[in-house]
Chain A
């Protein structure tokens, strides 16, 4: 058994204990010591960026199995990427840049498009009821597009891992891609909300902005989707919001979306039903 200069031997025994006898560090003491050190390292450096298993060899095998193309290190190293780590960062950056990878916008739009034609827009009250129905149906579609899809899981995973690491060097590329992707997705959603507001005769309450509403809705959706992944209790809420008070199923996100819409938006008194939307 090796005896080290420091106060512990490699079997966990502590040297120099009173009485000349070696006190053995217990299994629990060892665990506490090392878990504390491990946490300290993670708090300083963050979690690994998550692509540690993505080796060139595995990727070459996948390419060959799926396309018949056989590649080797010589095909890519110093030609396409400096090294394997450079490749991993590229993969993660490409995930980070696609904020709507799960197709949430398209899926939500698909669900909402037939709905908007059925709305009664004849009075301010009916327009607010239509807004609630949009929140209910659109909320369900929006959260469904996230929860359980691998694309969204990967994207949010890369996002969170990028946040836990220092914004230096290779990780900055991921953060930059993430920021660009978020900006693009927010722009697209803002346009959708602008169109819906114009259709329903709603406007943003001063001094709030449509951009702020869009960011709040996105943050809410991401937070709820993350919670829903680990908290199945937040599944369905039954509310008497149907015709003549009939019960309707709401998702938690739909309820929150309605709350945000009511706070950020109001009936536009100057709106004219049937006027062309510019």
Chain B
């Protein structure tokens, strides 16, 4: 293999060395030189930058055509069998699983991704959000529309912070969103279709659960949906915003808190950007219900 700058020393300018094979009739040598041009009669050497640009453009074109793959290519049977043995003491070989549990390694990789896709809220985002909101309930002033809207703002501030914190710190969420992105943005293939269907199944369940939580919250605060919006549209909007914010926070972990004078007597309170956006969405989709008579109490 020739290193940068060695070609001239070996073969002299304009003439390929015997060790430097000419690989084809195409206009470049395997050390990057271009055959003599008709105009000058001299060979020019394709620069490192030129080759780099050529190769990068081709690499991008291939990825654009064929996508990024499924994301589990490194998950070989060998690595997984080693993991099983080290964690459980059970020793398995390829013969234990190939054609018995899976036809091949690719099918196994798909099943792992499908398990990730179906797992849904294993990061506990919904549980953490609900737990953060529980202490707020007894302290809300529900006696006037203005008081109920203040309650809504506090739900957005506290619940938004809890929700975002859980997502950003969750390995299972980052895996889930990774599988989602590869499945929905990749080219349609049979492999991708199986994973995509599992994702949609898990997504539907998760969206329904979140919608139920928002319905409960709106009922408690005496709020209703503005016409013509639906609870699903609100739920999807909030989910989209929290995921977009969590991706940004993952890329830049220096997101500063926003101080707003929203506390009692105008005291400053810390807000996340997601909390501010969540309040914006809530005010867009929800409004005080004029026929509301008070929170429903269960005995």
Contact = CB atoms under 8 A, between A and B. Distances in A.
Interface of B: 1-4, 20, 23-24, 26-32, 46, 48, 51-52, 54-56, 58-64, 66-69, 71-75, 79-81, 83-85, 87-97, 100-102, 108-109, 111-112, 115-116, 171-172, 174-175, 177-186, 196, 199-200, 203, 207, 228-229, 232-233, 236-237, 239-245, 247-248, 250-252, 258-261, 273-274, 276-277, 279-281, 283-285
Interface stretch (A120-128, A158-166, A189-197): A158-166
A223 B4 CA distance: 45
Contacts of A34: 80-81, 84, 92, 97, 101, 108
B58 A234 contact: no
Given A207-B260, A223-B239, A47 B48 contact: no
23 contacts: A7-B89, A10-B95, A30-B97, A30-B101, A39-B116, A40-B83, A47-B175, A54-B59, A59-B58, A64-B24, A66-B58, A69-B27, A72-B23, A77-B1, A78-B1, A161-B71, A207-B258, A216-B241, A226-B181, A227-B240, A234-B233, A237-B229, A252-B240
A254 B267 CA distance: 33
Contacts of B54: 63, 67, 69, 71
A154 B68 contact: yes
Closest 10 CB pairs of A and B: A223-B240, A219-B244, A50-B68, A223-B244, A47-B71, A70-B26, A229-B184, A6-B91, A153-B185, A263-B280
Contacts of B51: 71, 75-76, 79-80
Interface of A: 1-2, 4-12, 25, 27, 30-31, 33-35, 37-43, 45-48, 50-54, 58-59, 62-64, 66-81, 87-88, 90-91, 94-95, 150-154, 156-164, 175, 178-179, 182, 207-208, 212, 215-216, 218-224, 226-227, 229-231, 233-234, 237-239, 252, 255-256, 258-260, 262-264
A79 B244 contact: no
Given A212-B276, A218-B244, A230 B284 contact: no
Contacts, number: 359
B200 A75 contact: no
A251 to B, nearest CB: 11
A160 B176 CA distance: 10
Interface of A is mostly: helix
A264 B46 CA distance: 53
B59 A230 contact: no
